Amino acid sequence: MDRLKLAVLGSPIAHSRSPQLQRVFADSIGLDDFSYERIETTCETLNDTVRRLVAEGYDGFNCTMPLKTDMAALADRLTHEAELLRSVNTVAVRDGRLDCATTDGGGIILTANRALGESVSGKRVLLLGAGGAARSAALSLKLAGAKLTILNRTLKSALTLNEMLDGSAVCGALTRENLCEAAADSELLVNCTAAGMTGQPEFESLDFLGNMKKGTAVIDAVYNPLETKLLRRAKELGLNAVSGLWMLVYQGALAFEWWTGILPDENACEAAFNTIAAD
């Protein structure tokens, strides 16, 4: 491969870190003829934008919210996970066809493996939330062989998510009591709620972290701020705390592989993390 012309679509898109991320990956394989631009795109303009990119010879693009579901409807081919979720964040243009994937869940799996130091298969995972990020996480964790417990403020949403998982997860309301009980039996906690995000409320209490065994892994999908109160407290208690920024890095690495067939190695991923963390 001697050229790669890419873009990221979304609204708003001006602050996307994907261009810096993908530039690191391109540099890691010595790809000089590389471009990756931000294109402001709404659901109403998505179809026209995609047609233009195909006509202008783009090799592929990423989609952010709120375009992921609409992009799935435009796909010529969907991966298994993208089809189940009806969500696409990565598109490769191949002979004019749109080959579409979601790397969201895969990014979570690689982050989980990093946090655990081993495969997530067979591990007891406590997942907080049932929204878009949690859906991707839950499906990928299930397919990877994890044993899932899902807690969400609205129990009905957790149960609806569990239907997609063929009822394989244990579900409950996200109460302090349930959280403390489930945390004690977990080997990995993944927060996919907005709690702790800049401008959003914090967890009512972080007492549940004290119930987790030392060395248990904690991943926070929130990466603004880079170190949330959840991660800070987890570190203080001797837990293995991992920033959600790693999820962004690994999602991007899997997207790069979708376009090129080359998965960036851990050195490239470390460089990408440091680049966007400093941005």
Q: pLDDT tens digits for 83-109? A: 999 999 999 999 999 999 999 999 999
Q: Among all chains, which residue has been given the structure tokens 């050195």? A: 267
Please check whether residue 25 is in contact with residue 272, taking contact to mean a CB–CB distance below 8 angstroms: yes
| Digit-coded pLDDT (tens) for 142-184 | 999 999 999 999 999 999 999 999 999 999 999 999 999 999 9
243/217 Cα distance (integer angstroms) = 11
Give the contacts of 18 (CB within 8 A, at least 6 positions apart). 8, 36, 38, 62, 252
DSSP H or E run through 110:
helix 104-116
| Digit-coded pLDDT (tens) for 179-232 | 999 999 999 999 999 999 999 999 999 999 999 998 899 999 998 898 999 999
Asked if pLDDT for residue 50 goes beyond 90, the answer is yes
Reported pTM: 0.94
Q: Is 68 a catalytic residue?
A: yes
What single DSSP character describes residue 92? E
Considering the candidates 5, 68, 123, 147, report the single residue annotated as catalytic.
68
DSSP H or E run through 128:
strand 124-128
Q: Among all chains, which residue has been given the structure tokens 């499906």? A: 139
Q: Which domains occur in the chain, in start order?
A: 4-102+246-277 (3.40.50.10860), 105-243 (3.40.50.720)
Angle at which helices 104-116 and 132-143 pack, to 10 degrees?
60
